[in-house]
Amino acid sequence: METIELLKITRDKTISFYDLPENDLQKSYGPGKWTIRQILVHLADTEIVLNERIRRAIAEEHPFVVVFDQDRWNEKLDYNNYPVHISKQVYSAVRSSVIYLAEKYYAGSEQVHFFHTAAGIRSLKEEFDKVAKHNFDHIKQIEMALAM
C-alpha cells in the first residue's frame, strides 16, 4: 500500500478510537503492555515528534534530530490520566500536516537526509514511511486489546 494512502487510512481508523468509552480505553493487549489510552496519547505525541523531524528534513540544511524516550514520556506526562480529547485534536491536526507534506514532498524524498541521534543518517522517505507503519502497528495492538 502506498504511504500516503496508508497515512489517510490509519488517520481515519485511529481518530475513531479516541471516542471509545472509558472502560475500553483501560484495556490492554497483554500483561504489562500499554492500555489503549496510553497508546492513543503516545500516537498524538509521536505525530508531533515525527512531524517536526519531517519539517526539519525539508526546511533545514543539515538537520539533526534527537531520539525521544517513549516510556519516559508515558510516565512523566502521565498518559494514564491524560485527556484523550486533547490527544485526538493534536493527532488530527498534526496528521493533516504530515499528509500535506507527504503529498507535496514524498516524491524524491529518498534524496533528502537528516541525522538522527540513535539511527544515524535517515531519509525523509524513511520518516514518512515510519509515520504510517508506526501508526498501523499500534492500530493492530488496539484491535487486539478490544478483542480480549
Residue 1 has pLDDT above 70, yes or no: no
CATH number at residue 128: 1.20.120.450
Q: How many residues does the chain have?
A: 148
Question: Where in the sequence is the domain holding 61, given as residue range(s)?
Answer: 3-147
Identify the CA nearest to 79 among candidates 30, 34, 41.
41
What are the residues facing 116 on neighbouring strands? 65, 120
Rounded Cα gap, residues 68 and 117, in angstroms: 10
Local structure of residue 114 (DSSP, 8 states): E
Number of domains in the chain: 1
Report the percentage of the chain scoring pLDDT > 90: 99
Please state the rounded mean pLDDT for residues 90-110: 97
Identify the CA nearest to 81 among candidates 145, 26, 18.
26
